[in-house]
Structures are given as C-alpha cells and as structure tokens.
Amino acid sequence: MLTDRSDHKHLIVLRHGKAAYPPVPDHERPLAQRGNQEAPAAGRWLVEQGFYPDAIITSDAVRTRQTTTWVLSELGDKAPTPYLDSRLYMAPVSRVLAVINETEEQVRSLMLVGHMPWVQDLGMRLASVDSDEDAVIEMAERYPTLGLMVFEVPGEWASLDGRDAKMTHFVVPR
C-alpha cells in the first residue's frame, strides 16, 4: 500500500540494526542497545516517505526479527504480518533473488530484512543504469547497519534478475 501512484512495484531492502556480540551462536545474536534505539527510525522513514510494504520477508536470525519488530511498531495498523524465511540467513545473493522471484504479483511493495554481505550484493546486482547515481555510489562504498535501499521494479517479481530495478533511495535512518 504505497502512496506512490506509479505503475512500478517497490522493493525495500533493510540491513538489520547494530547487533550485540554476546557469547552465543551468530544466528542468536540480538540487537545491541544502539540497535534497539535506532531501529525504529527505519520504520519512521518509511512512514514519512509514504512507503507501506504489502509484504515483509525477514531472515529468521534474532537481530533481523528484532529490527523487523521495531519497523512494524512504526508502521502501525498498516503493517503486514512478516514472514520469517531461514533462506535469508547467510545467503548468497542468488538465493535472495530466488526468494524475491517467488513473490506473488499482487504484492506491489515487498520489504526484505537481512544481513551483509547479501544486502549490498543485491543492491549491486539489481541497480539499473537509470538508478540514482549518488544512492548507488553511497551504497557501494559503505553499507552500515540499518542501511535501507528502495528500488522501483518495472516488471514481474519472477523476472527480476540483474540491472533491472531502479534504485531511488539509499538512506541510513537515525
């Protein structure tokens, strides 16, 4: 449910917030205090820009689930029920694309919440030549925690592969 009235679909990709380093397996690492404080900013930015995802798919790692929960709290009544997908943890970009390609066409705005390096790899693979050049350069040079990309997707989810989505935003909400 996007306020943008274009014919394009939107793909929103968010890297999780700052994680803590307790003595637990990587998959179980929670957000650090800073991550919990900053993560709601991603949801606020989406609301301010009028981006309300129809679907959210998140890695099943603790830190991505917590980040997603903060985003959902900011989206309020318009927040969809997120889907946890274990394939997004420690994933190569080809597996992430497979998850995107499975998305049903009635979904006009899809949000993924995940990890490095695939969030940055996905940005590099999808950004078309008509993308916002400054956004692509910033994303390519440094992709910090809570980095967020927005793409316009002109075709079907199933055909998204490479250099075929226009990156319109790369931000690090705080």
Which residues define the annotated binding site for substrate?
A: 63
DSSP symbol at 78: G
Question: How big is the chain by its Cα radius of gyration, in Å?
Answer: 15
Q: What is the full DSSP assignment across 115-131?
A: -TTHHHHHHHHHB-TTS
User: In whole angstroms, what is the distance from residue 90 CA to residue 107 CA?
Assistant: 25
Residue reference for tokens 């009635």: 106
Residue 7 burial class via C-beta count within 10 angstroms: exposed 0-12, middle 13-18, buried 19 and up: exposed
Q: Give the annotated binding-site residues.
A: 63
User: In whole angstroms, what is the distance from residue 135 CA to residue 59 CA?
Assistant: 24
Q: What is the full DSSP assignment across 20-50?
A: P--SS-GGG--B-HHHHHHTHHHHHHHHHHT
Q: What angle do CA 122, 138, 32 make, to 5 degrees?
A: 75
